[in-house]
Amino acid sequence: MRRGYLYSHAKALGCNKIALGHHFDDVIETILMGMLYGGQVQTMMPKLHSTNFEGMELIRPLYLVREADIKHWRDYNGLHFIQCACKFTDTCTTCAPDSRSVSKRLEIKNLIAELKKVNPQVEKNIFRSVENVNVNTVIAYKDNEGVHRFTDSYDLR
């Protein structure tokens, strides 16, 4: 609903691009959330064409910028960012302040922090995992033509 409103309002203003503030940490958290909670390997793309609003493109100019660097820049410049209205943000804003309920994104953020203690490269490795996919070694993959399983071409080799 929010995304549709954003696209239609931008279109009415004569815009052809919408820039979102997703950053590198959002990308790797989304990759892990998809794997652990959605049973899929995918990522948010740095730019994509709208399928419902012809001529509109979504871009993420902060895609490779670390969250800590954004916060440092914010603090250095004395800025205050508004909290995203999305119910899946870092903390459950509708919960009581002393509630133990946290979002899945914060859960994943904490998991990555723990993994980083053992492997300082874990964040880069998570990101690289979605750009180093070898389709010859996966059980199945999906594209615009449908699902392709390794058994479809196994006997042809």
The whole-model pTM stands at: 0.82
Token pair in block for residue 27: 């990308």
Mutual angle of helices 104-118 and 122-129, in 10-degree steps: 120
Token pair in block for residue 101: 């309920």
Average pLDDT, the chain: 88
Q: How many residues does the structure list for the chain?
A: 157
When pLDDT is averaged across residues 144-154 and rounded to a whole number, the result is: 91
Token pair in block for residue 129: 């995992």
Tell me which of 21-25, 55-59, 145-149, 152-156 is least confident: 152-156
User: How would residue 108 be classed by pLDDT, with cut points 50, 70 and 90?
Assistant: very high
Which is nearest to 28 in space by CA: 108, 141, 134? 108
Q: Residues 6 or more apart from 33 whose CB is under 8 A from it? A: 104, 105, 108
Domain spans, the chain: 2-139
At 96 the pLDDT is 41
Specify the CATH number for 2-139; select among 3.40.50.620, 3.40.50.300, 3.40.50.720, 3.30.420.10.
3.40.50.620
pLDDT digit string, tens, across residues 55-95: 999 999 999 999 999 999 999 999 998 876 555 444 444 34
User: How would residue 155 be classed by pLDDT, with cut points 50, 70 and 90?
Assistant: confident
Task: Say what percent of the chain tops pLDDT 70.
Answer: 87
At 86 the pLDDT is 57
User: Looking at 6-66, which runs of residues are DSSP E strands?
Assistant: 17-19, 47-49, 57-59
Which is nearest to 123 in space by CA: 5, 58, 15, 30? 30
